[in-house]
Amino acid sequence: MGVQYKIGKWAAIRSVGAEDMSESQYREIHHRVEQLSDELGIEKPRLMVARMGVPNAFAVGRKGAGTVVVSQELIQQLSPDELEGVLAHELAHIDNRDVVMMILGQGVASIVAIVAQWAVLLTGENDLADFFLAIEVGQITQLLVMLFVFAISRYREYVADSDAADVIGSGDPLARALEKIQRGNERSRESSIDSQVNALAIFGEERGLAQLFATHPPVEKRIKRLRG
């Protein structure tokens, strides 16, 4: 799990070609993140910028070693208060240790699957049929545990939205930002965001049965809660 955490953070940043956000060029963003970090009681995270093809942002790392990656498209399309809402949401993820929780959840799912496989092998006749049965049982067990992990992830998105609204004083800026992000994702056909980063990003696009495996709740429900 430790290796997965370290490699996952590096891979997420590398996959979008993120670069350090210049303080001279993005002075206002750095200043606002400092203020938000102080209000949340966390260290200011490393800020990076990337061209993702869509307006989006994601956070990786933990308290004291967090990184927030923002797409250039997001900076261009959002107003200052909307961008503040997105930044507050990502900082809330770092404050709540959500990335670490997801890694732990995935690790627990793998461990449970291995235990289930060994249970089949140790209670069976240890022949070829038991070997293939153990593989199937392990896969099914891991899938069931991951459904629970995904459900927790969707809940944590609501929590991060709520914390962001509290720290900036209103949920409307983030709600407006989500609307713009949704429209931007619908218009764009090309994106540099891979499946691993999509799990970290502020916006997910799954619909129908795929929502069971989604890390994000429907954006319409998030907007409704922010304005509720």
Q: Which residues are catalytic?
A: 90
- Supply φ then ψ for residue 19, to 5 degrees: -125, 155
Distance of alpha carbon 59 from alpha carbon 107, whole angstroms: 20
Pairing status of strand 46-50 against strand 19-20? antiparallel
- Supply φ then ψ for residue 58, to 5 degrees: -155, 160
Residue with tokens 């997001």: 74
Dmax over CA atoms of the chain, in Å, equals: 68
Nearest to 49 by CA among 178, 205, 192: 192
- Supply φ then ψ for residue 47, to 5 degrees: -105, 135
Give me 163's structure tokens: 């914390």
Residue with tokens 């916006």: 203
Q: To 5 degrees, how large is the angle CA 77–CA 40–CA 222?
A: 50
Nearest to 33 by CA among 75, 77, 91, 72: 91
